[in-house]
Structure 1
Amino acid sequence: MTMDGWKLRGALTAMGRGLVLSFAALAGSITLFVLTVVSIALVPLGVGVFTTPALLTAVRKHANQRRLLAATWSDIPIAVPYRPLPPDVRGGVTGQVERCTLLLKDPATWRDLQWMLVDMTLGAVLALLTFALNVYALEGFVLAAGLWRVFRDDQYWYGFVPVDSQVTALAAAALGLALFALGLRYSADLLRLHFLLTRVMLAPGRDRQLALRIERLTESRHDAVDTSAAELRRIERDLHDGAQARLVAVGMDLGTVEALIEKDPARAKELIGKARQSSAEALTELRDLVRGIHPPVLAERGLGDAVKALALRLPLPAEVSVELPGRAEAPVESAAYFAVSEALANVIKHARADRIWVDLSHTEGMLRIAVTDDGGGGAAIGKGSGLSGLERRLGTFDGILAVSSPAGGPTMVTMEIPCELS
C-alpha cells in the first residue's frame, strides 16, 4: 500500500474510532455520571448505600475501557489507580455500607467523576471532530454536484460560503476539499488529543503514583527473587543431568582405559574415542547453558547484535531494525534480551505467523522494543499467559508492557524500559 493509501486508511480508521468514542462519551459518560451523582446524593437517606457500589463499579469499568482504548488505539498508557477492596469485606447491609464507604474514600472515584464531566463535553467534541471534519467535507462536494439547486430560493450557508449558484457551490466544494485535507491530516492527532485529555483526568495523582510504584516494585522484587531461585534450580538440574553426568562417565571411561591400556589396547582405544565424544557433548551443553544465562554476543556486541543473532535461529523469517546510539547497562540489556527472546518464543508457539518484525530504539530516556507478527491475533495479558511473565520481568526494571492484538492480527507487543545509554 502506498503512503497516500496508508494516510487515507488511517484517517478512515480515526473517523470510525472518533464516532465510537463520541457515542461512548455522550451516552455512556452522561448516563453513568447522572445516575452516580443521584445515587451519591441519596446515600444519607440510605438508598444510595445499596446503589452506589454497583454504579461506581460500572464507572470503573467504563474508565478502564477508555484506558484500554487509549493504549491500543493511540499507544497512550494510563495507570489504574484504584485502591483494592480488602478481601474480608462482610456481606449483608453492614458489608454494603463498608463497601460504599471504601469506594467513596478512594480519590480515584472522584477523579473518575471529574473525567466523565470533561468527557461528555470537551472529550466528546474532540472525538466527534475526527468524524465530522471528513463527513462535513462531503457536503461541499454534494452541493457542487447539484444539491445547491434545492436551496436556490433560500440562501444556504456552507461554512462561511453562501451557496446560491453553481459558482458558489464550486466554492463550497473547494472549502470541502480543504476540510477533507484537514481531516486526512489531523484526524489521528485529534483522536490522540482526546486520549491525552483522558490521561490528564484519569491518571493517578503524585501520591498515588508513588504508592502504586512502591507496590509494583515490591511485587516485582518478589517475582525477581522467585525467578532467580527457579533459574538457579534450572541451572543445577541441567548441570546435574547433563554436563555433570557426562563428565562422570568420561572419568569412569578413562579409569577403565587405564586398566585396559596394556591388556586390551583395542578396547582402550574404543573407550578413549567414547570419552572424547562425551567430553565434546558436555562442552556443547555447557556452552548452551552459558548462552542461556548470558549470551556471549550480548556481552561482546550489545543488545542489537544479540537480538539479530537470536532472530537468525528462528524457524520464521524475522526482520530486526536497531536504532540504538549506545549501550544500556548490562542488567538492562540482559532483561531486554530475554524479554525479546520470550516474546519471540510466544510468537513461534501460539501466533501461527509467517513473519516477525523486531524494532529496537531509544527515545526520551526509554529503551523501546516492539515485536510484531502477522499471525491470527487474540493475544492478551492474563493469568497463566506467557505475556504475564514477560510483564513481571520488565517490572523488575520499572518497565511496562503493552499489547495490541485484534482478532485476525497483526499482534504488536511493545516493551519500554527506562534507562540511559552510554
Structure 2
Amino acid sequence: MDTSLCPAGPLGRRATVLATAAVSAVVVVALVGRYTALGASPRFGLEALAGALGCAAVPLVLRRPVPAAIGLAALSVASPAVTPAATSAVVLVARQRSLRTAALVGTAGVLGHLGQWALAPAPQLPFLWWLVVSVVVHAALVAIGALIQARAALLRSLRERARQAEAEQHARVAEARAAERTAMAREMHDVLAHRLSLVATYAGALEFRPDADHDSVARAAGVVRQGVQDALNELRDFIGVLRSDEEDPVSERSRPQPRAVDIERLVAEAQRHGMVVDVDGTVTALSGLPDAAGRAAYRLVQEGLTNARMHAPGEPVSITIRGGAGADARISVRNGLASEPPSRGPGGSGLLGMTERIRLAGGHLEHGVRNGTFVVSATLPHGRGAATS
C-alpha cells in the first residue's frame, strides 16, 4: 500500500455512522430497482447479500481505504448494489493517497464493473459503451478525490504561511523593541550619570568642607536634593517605558529627545552648579545636523561634562564647536587632569556607549590625553552622511 500521503486523521464515530447511512440509503434504492427487474429470485438474494456486505464495509473503507476499495471492486462483480460503496471508496482513496494509488484503485473498479457486465449483461447498453462509461466515471471519481486533496494541501500551506508570517512579524517587532530598549538603556546611562555625578560632587563638598557657612551648606544640600529628585524622575520615566511590553516599539520614544540646540541649556546648568565651562563657538553651527546626529552631539557634551565632574572635579572645561552649512560638525570637550584622581568604581562604559552612538550617527569619536588634558572629540556629518534613527 502506498503511504506517501497519510490520512488526514481518524474520522470520528459520527462521520462513520453518517457515511454508512448515506451509502446504505443509495444501496436500498438500487436494490429496489433490481427487485423490480429480478423479482424474488435467487439472483436478487445474491445481489441483496452483496449490497449488505458493501454497506458493512463502509467503516473499513474509512479506516483502511485501499484494501477496502479493492475488495469492494471485486465484490461489485456480483451486484450493481455494491457500486455506491465501491465508487465512494475510490473517491476516498484519491483524497487520501497518491494519484498513482488512486489510479490503480480506479482501474480495479473499472475491471470489477466489466466483470459485472459479463455476469449480467445490460441489453440496453453494449459492452463497448459500458467500458467507456466505467472508465469515464472512475476517472472522474479519481479527479474529484485528487482535487479535494490538492485543495486541502493548499489550505494547509496557506495556514502554515500565515503562521510563519505572523511569527516573523512578531520576531521583527521583538527585534525592534529590543533595539529600541537598548537605545533607551544608553539614554538612561547618559542622563543618570550626569545627574548623579552632580549629586556626588556636592555631597563630597559637604563631606570635606564641614566648616562651610550655613548658606553654602544649604545651597549644596539643595543641589543634592534636586539632583536626586531629577534622577528619580528620569529613572521612573525610563522604567515606565521599559515595562510597556505591549506598546508599539516605534512609539517608545514619545518623550522629548534632546537636540543640539539644548547644549546651551546643558552648559548653563553646569555653570550654575559651579563648573567653569568655556564655550568656543555657538550651537548654530550644529543647526543643520539630522536629529540622530544632533542628539549624539548633545550626549557627547553631556558625557564630557560628566567625566570632568567625576574624574577631574574643579578643573575647567573647554568646549569647542565648529561647523556650518554643508560642512561636517566638529565638537570637542577638553578638561584638565586632576592632580590626584578621585577614587571611583570601574568606569569607561559611558565612552564606549558614546563611541557607538557617534558611529550610528555616521560620525567618528576619539578620546584620550593630549598635552596634559583629557579630550573627547567627535566629527558628525551634515545631511546625507548621517544615519537616521
Normalising by structure 1, we get a TM-score of 0.29
Structure with larger Rg: 2
Normalising by structure 2, we get a TM-score of 0.31
Structure showing greater relative contact order (alpha-carbon pairs closer than 8 Å, 6 or more residues apart): 1
